[in-house]
Amino acid sequence: MAYFDPARPSETLCAIADCSTPPFDDISLLICHELRTPLASIQGALKLLGYQQSGSLSDDGQKLLTIAINNADRLTRLANALEHQPTPLMTLLSSAELERLQLENDLHQAMEQGAFYLAYQPIVAMEHSCIVGVEALARWRHSQRGDISPEVFIPLAEKAGLIDTLGLFFLDQACQQLRQWQLQFPAAALSVSVNLSAVQLRHPQLVERVSETVKRHHIAPSSLKLEVTESALIENKELALAALVELRQLGIQLYIDDFGTGYSSLGRLQDLPFDTLKIDRSFIRNKNWAMSEAIFMLAERLQLDVIVEGVETLADLTVLRELGYNKMQGYYFSQPIDSVEVAYLLMRQALEGRLSFAPERSPVA
């Protein structure tokens, strides 16, 4: 059996683990996996303490400190189990937990290996049948498992304390790519939207980092759109709103993503610093046209722009246009594609003056 070498983790991992069904036969490797996340939380708490000027913790700081303390208890329980429990260590964790721990370990290696990248999905204005923006979508191409969904790896990155670094990488890549498209197709007036996680909204240097990235890539702040989910606002209400107000003051536009699926109060919507609502694809998938119409009328009353996601068929498009929607996104127009394919669409648009779409497209898995 190969034994875990902390100086050469990736080589040892390949020697003792099958990534599809990680056995975790080696005790030291299991300990390494189990220690990584608690230690990341403890480090995060210490950093947060360092940011405090008055010596007193905010509510979020207290929450993070509590998580760190709980994780310390977790380490203690693990140590006790290792010392006193004669049964195999595999009984301490479920197969799902073991797989998650494997992915957490792979996440660290993926950042070093450049396995993360962006795909882009066009946002189309139907008034002129042209692309007015793209949404940057985070992707992880795992060496053994293929593409890992962001719904899986983003929460892992948050838990492992890597989301700030990863989020900055995606923001930088999106802004750099936007600048290239704008130079190639100046008449397109293109923008890019990037998702912000709840954890990123808590970071005390978020506004400064976003501002620096925009300036470094020489793009207009108004051409960067930041998307925030309703749940992120609920989790970090005061800090999130303060950060969003500052971002908007920079000239950056703000989207509330997946609108209608969270816990927002419609009465408070007019007080939130958003420019655009993105209606969740579930309304379109379930043919919930009455609610879709109500949201459109609400947005229009509040003078907010609207983008509807999940448009997959000509029938969807026809109904949404009758309801008044103009900006749309979905597989009917394009699945998420790479930067070269986006450039091809923009070239077609420049040559033809508008884009034509197939009368019917099937969703791509």
Judge contact between 349 and 131, C-beta under 8 A: yes
Give pLDDT tens digits for 26-53. Answer: 554 566 566 666 666 676 665 666 555 4
Give pLDDT tens digits for 259-305. Answer: 766 555 555 677 788 899 998 888 999 898 998 898 889 888 888 99
In the chain, what are the domains?
9-110 (no CATH), 114-352 (3.20.20.450)
Q: CA 187 to CA 180: how far, in whole Å?
A: 13
Q: CA 204 to CA 119: how far, in whole Å?
A: 28
Judge contact between 16 and 25, C-beta under 8 A: yes
Q: Is the pTM of this model over 0.95?
A: no
Residue with tokens 């957490």: 104
Q: CA 289 to CA 292: how far, in whole Å?
A: 5
* pLDDT bracket for residue 88 (50, 70, 90): low
Q: Higher pLDDT residue, 239 or 200?
A: 200
Give residues with Cβ within 8 angstroms of 204, minimum separation 6. 51
Q: Give bridge partners of residue 308 from the DSSP assignment.
A: 279, 328
